[in-house]
Amino acid sequence: DVKVTQSSRYLVKRTGEKVFLECVQDMDHENMFWYRQDPGLGLRLIYFSYDVKMKEKGDIPEGYSVSREKKERFSLILESASTNQTSMYLCASSFPRHAIYEQYFGPGTRLTVT
Amino acid sequence: SQQGEEDPQALSIQEGENATMNCSYKTSINNLQWYRQNSGRGLVHLILIRSNEREKHSGRLRVTLDTSKKSSSLLITASRAADTASYFCATVLHGSGNTGKLIFGQGTTLQVKP
């Protein structure tokens, strides 16, 4: 079974702190994604990566950056956390099998910025 | 930007009844997928239907796709309390290359009462 793990289930940080959210997948997937999920807004794509060291902005990249130095690991960085970044963060991975792109999700990290 | 819109936003039924959720989208797709999310957890892939298919079954799940109306429906038959979750449709846009990017709907929250 594919496994996608996220470094923390719950995280509390202070405004202005630099925050790292880590995501690791064990199935050699090329594609990895970071979403945030807020009530009434569904899943919004922050950044995605389709190869090592490759990244593309999603719909809401402002205030975030990412790093993919190894194929299995995709990190989301909040350079200076703000209260409006309090949210549930979901990581996912997929691979281009016949253009299906089923995504496998991690359990999520609920981040609170105070 | 979110392509999918789901209807209804919330649905409450009794155990044993059928649940139907609808998803509409705006542009041409390669395939449409349905995901389930238990409260506070990551999403899990349920079923996929390709753009050249009209109906697909998996256990108690039945998915239909009408590309002329740009809509899909998910039917859960003989619902159980354990089906209580949020359900999301997601589309792979035609011509999206190998990025694997999915566009998620807002989701339908289903409550199945015992």
**Residue A96 pLDDT > 80:** no
Query: What residue numbers bound the domain in which A102 lies?
Result: 4-113
B106–A42: do the CB atoms touch at under 8 Å?
yes
Residue B2 contacts A where some CB pair is shorter than 8 Å: yes
Angle at B63 between CA B60 and CA B64, to 5 degrees: 145
User: Which residue among B2, B45, B106 places its CB closest to the CB of A102?
Assistant: B45
Into how many domains does chain A fold? 1
Please give the structure tokens belonging to residue A14. Answer: 């202070």
54-83 in B: which are within 8 Å (CB) of A? none
Q: What is the CATH number of the domain that holds A52?
A: 2.60.40.10
Handedness of CA B72, B87, B59, A108 (dihedral sign): positive
Q: Is B29 on the interface with A (CB under 8 A)?
A: no
CB atoms within 10 A of CB B102: 29
Judged by CB atoms closer than 8 Å, whether chains meet at A101 and B105 is answered as no
What pLDDT sits at residue B1? 40
Token duo for residue A86: 């309090």
Per the structure, the count of domains in chain B is 1
Residue B96 banded pLDDT, cuts 50, 70, 90: low
Q: What would the pLDDT profile of A10-53 be if each residue is shown by its tens digit?
A: 999 999 999 999 999 998 998 999 999 998 888 999 999 988 98
Say which CATH number the domain at B21 has. Answer: 2.60.40.10
Number of Cβ within a 10 Å radius of residue B5: 16
Q: What is the DSSP string of A78-100?
A: ESS--GGG-EEEEEEEE--STT-
Q: Which residue of A has its CA nearest to B100?
A: A101
Domain limits for position B42: 5-113
Q: Which of B30, B44, B101 sits opposite A48 (nearest CB)?
A: B101
Q: Which of A53-62, A76-85, B1-10 has the lowest mean pLDDT?
A: B1-10
User: Across residues A83-93, what is the average pLDDT?
Assistant: 97
